[in-house]
Amino acid sequence: MTKQLLHSEVPSQYTWNAPSVFASHEAWEQELIGVGEGLSAVAKYPGHLADSGALLVEALQARDEFTRRAQVLTVYADMASAVDSNDQIAAAMASRARSLYGQVLAAFAFIDPELIAIGLVRLRGWVNSEPRLAIYAHAFDDLFRKQAHVRSVEVEELLGMLADPFSGATLNESLLTNADFQLKPARASDGAELPVMQSTYDGLIHHPDREVRRTAFESLTDEYLAHKNTLANNLVMSIKQNVFKMRARRHDSTLAASLFEDNIPAEVFHNLIGVFRQNLPTWHRYWALKKKALGVDELHYYDIWAPLATQRPTVTYEQGIDLICAGLAPLGEDYVRALRKGCLQDRWVDVYPNQGKGAGAFSTGAPGTHPFIMTSFHDDLFSLSTLAHELGHSMHTYLTFENQPVIYCNYSLFVAEVASNFHQALVRAYLLQTNDDPQFQLTLLEEAFNNFHRYFFIMPTLARFELEVHQRLERGEGVTAETLMKLLDDLFAEGFGDHMTIDHDRHGIIWATFGHLYADYYVYQYATGISAANALANRVLAGMPHAAEDYLRFLKAGNSVYSLDALKIAGVDLTKPEAVLAGFEVLAGMVDRLEKLVG
C-alpha cells in the first residue's frame, strides 16, 4: 500500500465514503445548481427582518440550510481533490464550491446589520415569545458583542463576496506543493532510490537510515527553495488579505481581529509565547539527549525524527483501531462504538498514501455528512497516533452535529486541537501501561516527542514567526522570501540552542512547508490545545469525579458557548499560564523517562 498507487487503485474499504455524500459527480452538480438557483428566493427577506419574529426565524433557518448545503458541497469536492490533487475535475469542483459558498455568504450578508438595527432588547423579547428563535439567543448575544465591527449591508455583502477570491492563496499553495512539485527521490545508504511525495515524506523522515532522512529532507526543502519567491509572495498576499479584513472591520491589529472572533483575550496568546520562551531549556535538554542517544557528532534537523528503537512494532490499520478504542474506553461504550463503526463500516477514513495525495492529515465534515479523515497510514505507531489525533477531531464533529443545530456546529479552531490531542494523550497512556516491552516503550516515547515537537515546539515558533510577519505588513514594511527565511532561521537558532547544526536556507524555508499559515493565527492553537488536552486527560486518567462526562459535555457543546467557557466545562482554564506550564511538566517528565531508557 506504500507504492505509488492511483487513488482509484486503492481498495474501496480504505477510501473515504464519497457515495454517502453524493452518489456521483453528477448528483453533486445538480445540488450545486439547485443551491445557486435557490438563492433567488432570499430576495424577499432583506429590509423585512424587523417585521416580525416569525419572519426573522424563517430567514435565519433559510440561511442555516443554505450554509449547510454549501458546506456539504465543499466537503465532497475538497476531499476528492485532497486525496488526488491530480484530479482536475475535483480541483474545478472545489473551486466552484468555494465560489458558491461566497455567494451564500453574500446573499445573507444583510442579516447581521438588520439584526443590529432591530436591537438586542427587541430580539430578546422575540426569543421569549417565538420558541423557534430560542436557539439563536447565544448567537444574538455574540453578534452584539461584535457590533462595533459589523459594517453596513453593502460592506458586509462585499466582504462575503471576497471569500472566494481570497481563497486563492490557499489553493495556490496546495496545487503548487501537492500537484506541481517534482521531488527528487531519496537515496538509501546502499544506493537504492525511494520516491518522495508529500504523502510519503513522513515515513521517509522517520527512516532508520540517516541517508534516507537526509536526502528526503533535502529533496523536500530544496524544491521549496526553488520556488521560494513564489511561495513568499503567496503567503504575503494571504497576510495582506488579513490586514485588509482587519482594517475593514476596524480592529487594531490582525491578532486582535483573529482572537476577537472567538472572544479570546490577547493574554492567552502572549501567555503561550512567554511560557514557551521561558521553558526552551527543556527542549535544549532534549536535543542534547537525542544527540547523545544517536551517538552522532552533529545533530541535524532531519535527526529529530531518527528512531532510537531498533525494532519498531508493526501496527495495521485494523489493529490500530482496536488499540485506539481500548485507550478511549474511559469515555464510555457509546463513544467507542461510534468511533469503531465510523472507521470500519461507515468509511470515515481515506487510509493509505497514493499518487497526488496531499501532505499530512486532516478531518472535515458538514452537518448531514460523516466526519471524514484524510491520512497516509504507514502501519506503525506514528500513523496510529496521527489517526487517533484526527479521530479526536472527527468525534468532536460527530458529537457536535448530533447535539447542536447548524448555527452552533462550527466550533472554533481554538477548541478543535484540544479534542485531537486529548485522544493522543489517552491512547498513549494506555499503550505505555499495557505494553512494557522496552522497544515498544521507546518507540511510543519517540512518537510522543514527535507530537510534542510539532505542537509544542514548531507551532509556537511559527506563531512567533506569524505574529512578526503580520506586524511588519501592518506597518507597511516590505517582506520578501529572504526576510521570511532570515526570521525563521533566527527563531530556530534560539529554539535549538547550540545543540543543532544550522542549515540556514533549509531551516529558513520550513515556514513554506506549513499550509497552516494560510489560516489566520491557527498555529498557536496547537500549543494551547496540547496543553489543555493533557490537563483534561490527566483528570480522566486520575478518575476524577465526572471528568469523562465533563469532557463529553464539552464535545457536544459545539460553539453554543464561547470557546474558553466550553473548556471550563471540560475542566481547564486557558486564560491562565498554568495550563501551558503543565504541558511543559509533561514534556519534562517524558525527557526523564527517555533518559532512563537510553541511559
Show which residues are catalytic: 390
| DSSP result, 469-507 | HHHHHHTT----HHHHHHHHHHHHHHHHTTSS---HHHH
| DSSP result, 129-188 | H-GGGGGGHHHHHHHHHTGGG---HHHHHHHHHTTTGGGHHHHHHHIIIIII--PPPEE-
Coil vs helix vs strand at 357 = coil
Cα separation, 568 vs 554, whole angstroms: 8
Residue 194 pairs with which residues in a beta bridge? 186
Coil vs helix vs strand at 344 = helix
Cα separation, 412 vs 47, whole angstroms: 31
Using DSSP bridges, classify how beta strands 372-374 and 349-350 pair: parallel, antiparallel or unpaired.
Answer: parallel
Sign (positive or negative) of CA dihedral 11, 14, 15, 21: positive
CA 238, chain centre distance (Å): 18
Number of other CB atoms surrounding residue 554 within 10 Å:
27
- Please classify residue 210 by burial: count the beta carbons closer than 10 Å to its beta carbon, then call 0-12 exposed, 13-18 middle and 19+ buried: middle
Amino acid at 190: D
